[in-house]
Amino acid sequence: MSQSRIDVLTLGNAIVDVLAHTDEAFLARKKVHKGAMQLIDEARAEELFGDMGPATVVSGGSAANTAAGAASLGVKAGFIGKVKNDETGHYFARDLKAAGIHYDVAFAQDGPATARSFILVTPDGERTMNTYLGACQNLTPEDIRAETIQASSYVYLEGYLWDPPAAKEAFRKAVGIAHEAGNRVALTLSDAFCVDRYRDEFLGLMRDGSLDILFANIHELQSLYGTSDPDSALAALRDEKVLGVITRSAEGALVVSRGETRAVPAFPVDKVVDTTGAGDLFAAGFLAGLARDLDLVDCARLGGLAAAEIIGHLGARPQANLLDLARQEGLLQ
Amino acid sequence: MSQSRIDVLTLGNAIVDVLAHTDEAFLARKKVHKGAMQLIDEARAEELFGDMGPATVVSGGSAANTAAGAASLGVKAGFIGKVKNDETGHYFARDLKAAGIHYDVAFAQDGPATARSFILVTPDGERTMNTYLGACQNLTPEDIRAETIQASSYVYLEGYLWDPPAAKEAFRKAVGIAHEAGNRVALTLSDAFCVDRYRDEFLGLMRDGSLDILFANIHELQSLYGTSDPDSALAALRDEKVLGVITRSAEGALVVSRGETRAVPAFPVDKVVDTTGAGDLFAAGFLAGLARDLDLVDCARLGGLAAAEIIGHLGARPQANLLDLARQEGLLQ
């Protein structure tokens, strides 16, 4: 049977989130960099899990969150990422299926456990992520099925995939197949420190034609161009041959296309509970908008709506039906 | 070393909650009784988990939620309940420790897995619970350490403990030790269907002097006295020799003491997200108030405040510091 059509296929680290509310003093004591994603080893994972507060467990992973957001907006979504054949891995895979997301990657039968990210949420709603990559390190080019990529109109990749060494080959394979099939490829820069680790490679991907769309927040974009000035970073982006989608938290988003920049205000949020997944869900809304052939400003509005839902509760997967919310706002029919 | 003093010790089924948003149609399709707690076997658990939506996992269990609420209000809390030596059991025990709750029950080394409750939350915020008791069935009198009970000013037991056959002996042992030590014993009726299963035994406990305090919502109280009329149920309660604490959702609580009934309004709630744990947290606030020697009306106010926090988010463990909230309201210093 041939693969049925997928609107938005995302590739990334398959991670289960363990979230706890905490305070600034705990972050200082544990010497973690607030707001960033740090990679940790198993010993550090055990230590943090032992010391952090009562936790909520929910499936996460940046690109998987984006797939869940797209599915909630009513477009057909798929995900590629690696978990182990353990309790946590089955929980992650079940959540994908429960959200109606296509997922055809085999479970790792040995090696490290399914990845977990210990996420500390401070009273301001900011999240600090400590990620044990585990089984994500076993994602290889063999996990990329050509027919899945060929069937996917938009293939979205997370910059975090540069961390597990074998995954970037899987990433490159997906880009090649997608472009051969005439599909579009997007990258999110993921995290300013991640950009710091792989700046030249990300610039290379953008300039060698691997990417059609770049998602980033303004800090990541500044990190990409090595500048403390947001305006110079935006000016540099205008010279690249990609559609740039830049988020700026409460200041809304900028859509940079063919040398032109359009600003779209943020969607109002009653109370910031937890920003985990805000960027992932913005990308979900934007890509769902593209898949529905909305104009770019409406794509950014849809992204803002999806991000606003996720900020209002703990965890990075939607708890409301985003399609219903989008219809109430007149953004989708 | 002698056991240090515990203000509120709770005994109950040790359960990890698996929560998902759902709709009325799903409840109808799965033939579950909305708002109630149903016991399910392993096969049914697998079926529900396979079919329900994307899930959030968080430690639960009625009495354990009450202990977590009391701890969050700044009183010393303890918990007795049985988990297995599996991934889920360790997660449950870690959450108790993370909340500062005393817990000295040994892990079950064999037998069924740690209990899970599959909780379906409808758009009106109502929760419907499907509980696989698993390792809870291994709670026995040997798990009751005399010095823990002796050290506890208030010993709180859940009616659900009547479901696993061996647990009621543990319950009776705890009551005996508590009263011998001059401590107070409370029972929550847990659920109207649970009362239906064990009506005579619960009435017996109240009338043979086993109980000092009875917690119930108005439906459970009506079930206890087998009447569809709330006023007759309240009249019957006034004749019992216990302090009665009756919750009535948005209509607030009634404190029935020595033939006298005092009404306390509910604490305002912005938005009902998920009522899971509302009764458990009301009891937590009330017991914390008793432990702090507040008058009964202020105990009920503290209960209402704790319940209101839990209703505002998914899951039955506090996400805010309840002591801070109580101080803001002038209920605690």
| Interface contact B313-A315, CB threshold 8 A | no
**Nearest CA among A265, A279, A276, A189 for reference residue A233:** A189
Architecture of the domain made up of A6-13+62-112+134-328: 3-Layer(aba) Sandwich (3.40)
Residue B128 banded pLDDT, cuts 50, 70, 90: very high
Contacts of B98 in chain A (CB under 8 A): 20, 52-55
Q: What is the mean pLDDT of chain A?
A: 95
Instruction: Answer yes or no: is pLDDT of A1 > 70.
Output: no
Query: Do B256 and B243 contact (CB within 8 A), yes or no?
Result: yes
Domain segments of chain B: what residues? 6-12+62-102+138-328
Positive or negative, the CA dihedral A233, A236, A240, A245 is positive
Percentage of chain B with pLDDT > 70? 99
DSSP-assigned beta bridge partners for residue B9 = B78, B155
Instruction: Answer yes or no: is pLDDT of B163 > 90.
Output: yes
pLDDT digit string, tens, across residues B21-60: 999 999 999 999 999 999 999 999 999 998 998 999 999 9
Contacts of B94 in chain A (CB under 8 A): 49-50, 55
pLDDT digit string, tens, across residues A251-298: 999 999 988 999 999 999 988 999 999 999 999 999 999 999 999 999
**Nearest CA among B189, B163, B161 for reference residue B173:** B161
Give rounded-to-5 percent helix, strand, coil for chain B. 45, 20, 35
Query: Do B200 and B206 contact (CB within 8 A), yes or no?
Result: no
Cα distance between residue A296 and residue A290, in whole Å: 8
The per-residue pLDDT for B114 is 96
The per-residue pLDDT for B3 is 80
DSSP state of B208: T
The per-residue pLDDT for A66 is 98
Q: Does any CB of chain B come closer than 8 Å to the CB of residue A58?
A: yes
The per-residue pLDDT for B317 is 94
Contacts of A56 in chain B (CB under 8 A): 56-58, 315
pLDDT digit string, tens, across residues A153-210: 999 999 999 999 899 999 999 999 999 999 999 999 999 999 999 999 999 999 999 9
| Interface contact B95-A54, CB threshold 8 A | yes
Q: Residue A101: CA atoms inside 13 Å, Cβ hemisphere, count?
A: 33
The per-residue pLDDT for B270 is 87
Query: Do B13 and B136 contact (CB within 8 A), yes or no?
Result: yes
Cα distance between residue A33 and residue A48, in whole Å: 14
Q: Does any CB of chain B come closer than 8 Å to the CB of residue A159?
A: no
Q: Does any CB of chain A come closer than 8 Å to the CB of residue B328?
A: no
Residue A64 banded pLDDT, cuts 50, 70, 90: very high
Predicted structure pTM score: 0.90
The per-residue pLDDT for A165 is 87
Cα distance between residue A83 and residue B27, in whole Å: 31
Query: Do A5 and A153 contact (CB within 8 A), yes or no?
Result: yes
The per-residue pLDDT for A258 is 86
CA B159 remoteness from chain centre: 9
pLDDT digit string, tens, across residues A3-28: 899 999 999 999 999 999 999 999 99
Cα distance between residue A48 and residue A291, in whole Å: 40
Burial of A62 (0-12, 13-18, 19+ CB in 10 A): buried
Contacts of B57 in chain A (CB under 8 A): 56-58, 91
DSSP-assigned beta bridge partners for residue A185 = A155
| DSSP secondary structure, B121-137, as one string | E-TTS-EEEEEE-GGGG
- Would you call B40 helix, strand, or coil by DSSP? coil
Q: Which residue of A has its CA nearest to B53?
A: A98
Residue B333 banded pLDDT, cuts 50, 70, 90: confident
Contacts of B315 in chain A (CB under 8 A): 56
Query: Do B17 and B37 contact (CB within 8 A), yes or no?
Result: no
Cα distance between residue A1 and residue A186, in whole Å: 28
Instruction: Answer yes or no: is pLDDT of B1 > 60.
Output: no
Query: Do B288 and B7 contact (CB within 8 A), yes or no?
Result: yes
Positive or negative, the CA dihedral A148, A150, A151, A155 is positive
Longest alpha-carbon distance in chain A: 56
pLDDT digit string, tens, across residues B223-264: 999 999 999 999 999 999 999 999 999 999 999 998 899 999
The per-residue pLDDT for B259 is 84
Query: Do B66 and B315 contact (CB within 8 A), yes or no?
Result: no
Per-residue burial over A136-174, b = 16 or more CB atoms within 10 Å of its CB, e = otherwise: bbbbeeebbeeebbbbbbbbbbbbbbbbbebbbebbebb
Query: Do A89 and A83 contact (CB within 8 A), yes or no?
Result: yes
The per-residue pLDDT for A3 is 80
**Distances A208 to A141, A188, B276 between C-alpha atoms, Å:** 20, 16, 53
Q: What is the CATH number of domain B6-12+62-102+138-328?
A: 3.40.1190.20
| Interface contact A314-B319, CB threshold 8 A | yes
Give rounded-to-5 percent helix, strand, coil for chain A. 45, 20, 35
The per-residue pLDDT for A133 is 97
Q: Does any CB of chain B come closer than 8 Å to the CB of residue A68?
A: yes
Cα distance between residue B205 and residue A4, in whole Å: 62
Q: Which residue of A has its CA nearest to B321?
A: A21
CA A107 remoteness from chain centre: 21
Residue that the structure tokens 């890509």 belong to: A287
Candidates A16, A46, A48, A57: best to mutate against B (most CBs of B within 10 A) is A57
The per-residue pLDDT for A273 is 92
Q: Does any CB of chain B come closer than 8 Å to the CB of residue A326?
A: no
Q: Are strands B253-257 and B260-264 parallel, antiparallel or unpaired?
A: antiparallel
How far away is chain A from the Cα of B259, in angstroms, using its nearest Cα? 41
- Would you call A272 helix, strand, or coil by DSSP? coil
**Nearest CA among B175, B56, B201 for reference residue B116:** B56
| Interface contact A58-B59, CB threshold 8 A | no
